[in-house]
Amino acid sequence: MLDQPKVFRMDFEFIAFDKDSKMVVSRPDSKRYEQRKIDGKEYLYDKFEEVLIGRDILEKIAKQLQTYPLTLIKKGIDDAEEYVESRIPIIHSILNSNKEHVWEDKSEEFLKSLSTNQTGFVFMCVDIVGSTKLSISLPQEKNGKLRSTALHEMAEIIPKFRGYVLKYMGDGLIAYFPEPNLLRKNDLAIDCALTIRRLVYSGLNQVLKKNGYPKIDIRVGLDSGDGFVQTMGSKMDIDSTMLDFAAKIQHLGEPGDIILGESSLRNLHADWRELCEELPEKENWKYQKSDGQPYKIYKLNFN
């Protein structure tokens, strides 16, 4: 069973910036909250979590916000379509090069720099669907080239969303998005997953087809929670139930799907949550939370 989340997310919408006080003026996001009055007391009703938030809690949050510096986290890809277009000639070059393209991630360096072995992550598992069929239908050299090119292009995207590649799995990869950016990391992870999907279906497959390769499909699974950093052999690794869940969740999707667990969903911005729909119960998914309720899984509707 899974523990209940210890934090919950509140979303705000920007109204103005006061130059004199250097304060940002904002209010609870109207897409997510509505005001309600019950027995003479005022509340905010969270339409996603279906809970009432009292004024005392709102006042505590307001005080906390005043103690945190305002930081704007800029992702590395402002326009995914433009990025994919820019990668097409590069993918073509890599696919037709005899040289092995080596890509280095900073995961090992980052994990070693952590001051504690346990911290929070969003985990992302990406799988090339039907990899066994690909290996049978292609000569070994071409199959290896296709996989390495695809994984290289996925890996290039992940750091642009403040993520790291933890490991490659032959027909896919596992990435993570770490704290201290507790809530924003969920938004970054799902934005990264969408960019990877766009790159595969609108860029990589276009180049593969022109060069006589079959097109590929991918599935993506996301979930978030604590992980324990440890050394496995000569490499740093992360042990986490939620990493296992991300891998299992990914297999519940259809080709092209982005699937996420309840923990990630609850920490997404309202704009993302509006695009998610709960999946019906699956026979091979029987996991529960600590209160005995099913641990829900969701699909991102991006069209």
Mean pLDDT within 101-116: 82
Neighbours of 211 (CB within 10 A): 15
pLDDT tops 60 at residue 72: no
Instruction: Give per-residue pLDDT as tens, 218-229.
Output: 999 999 999 999
Handedness of CA 74, 79, 84, 90 (dihedral sign): negative
Name the pLDDT band for 177 (thresholds 50, 70, 90): very high
For the chain, the average pLDDT equals 85
Give buried/exposed letters for 262-301 (b at 16+ CB in 10 A, else e): bbbbbbbbbebbebbeebeeeeebebebeeeeebbbbbbe
Instruction: Give the pairing of strands 297-300 and 258-261.
Output: antiparallel
Instruction: Select from 184, 271, 189, 224 the least CA-distant residue to 6.
Output: 224
Instruction: Give the pLDDT of residue 103.
Output: 66
Residue 18, class by beta-carbon neighbours within 10 Å (0-12 exposed, 13-18 middle, 19+ buried)? exposed
Residue ranges of the chain assigned to CATH 3.30.70.1230: 80-300
Q: In the CATH scheme, what is the code of domain 80-300?
A: 3.30.70.1230
Report CA dihedral (45, 51, 55, 56) to the nearest 10 degrees: -170
| Contact assessment for residue 123 and residue 224, using Cβ atoms and an 8 Å cutoff | yes
C-alpha 26, offset from chain centre = 26
pLDDT tops 90 at residue 291: no
Q: Which two tokens stand for residue 162?
A: 């403040």
pLDDT tops 90 at residue 4: no
DSSP string of the chain, one letter each residue = -BPPPS-----EEEEEEETTTTEEEEEE-TTTEEEEEETTEEEEEETTTTEEEEHHHHHHHHHHHHHSPP-----S-S-HHHHHHHHHHHHHHHHT-SSPPP---SHHHHHHH-SSSEEEEEEEEEEEETHHHHHHHS-HHHHHHHHHHHHHHHHHHGGGGT-EEEEE-SSEEEEEEETTSTTHHHHHHHHHHHHHHHHIIIIIHHHHHHTTPPP-EEEEEEEEEEEEEEEETTEEEEE-HHHHHHHHHHTTSPTT-EEEEHHHHHTS-HHHHTTEEEPPP-TT---BBTTS-B--EEEE---
Instruction: Give the pLDDT of residue 29.
Output: 82
- Higher per-residue confidence, 61 vs 174: 174
Instruction: Give per-residue pLDDT as tens, 271-285.
Output: 899 999 999 888 788
Instruction: Give the pLDDT of residue 246.
Output: 95
Report CA dihedral (193, 215, 302, 188) to the nearest 10 degrees: 10
Percentage of the chain with pLDDT > 90? Answer: 46
Instruction: Give the pLDDT of residue 71.
Output: 44
